[in-house]
Chain A
Amino acid sequence: MIEDIVKEIKKAVGKWIKGVTIKNSQRVYIDIDPAGVREVATYLWKDRGARYSIATAIDNRTNFEVQHHLSLDREGGAMVSLRSILDRDKPSMPSLAPVIKASDWIEREMSELMGIEFVGHPDMRRLLLSSEHWPEGVYPLRKDFKA
Chain B
Amino acid sequence: MNILVLVVLFFVISAGTAVVGLLTTWIDRKVTARVQYRLGPPWFQPFADVVKLLGKETIVPHAASKAAFLISPLIGLAGVSLVSFIIWLAIFDPTGSGFIGDLIVVIYLLILPALAMIFGGLASANPLASVGASREMKLALAYELPFILMIVVVLIKSGGTLSLGGLISAQQSGGVYVASISGLLALVVAILCTQAKLGQVPFDAAEAETELTGGILIEYSGTPLAVFKLTRAMLYLTVPMFTVVLLCGGIGSGWGIPLGILKYVGLLVAVVLIRNTNPRLRIEHAVKFFWGHVTAIAIIAVALAVLGNRLGIGWL
Query: Do A and B touch directly, given a CB cutoff of 8 Å in the complex?
Result: no
Residues in chain B within 8 A of chain A (CB atoms): none
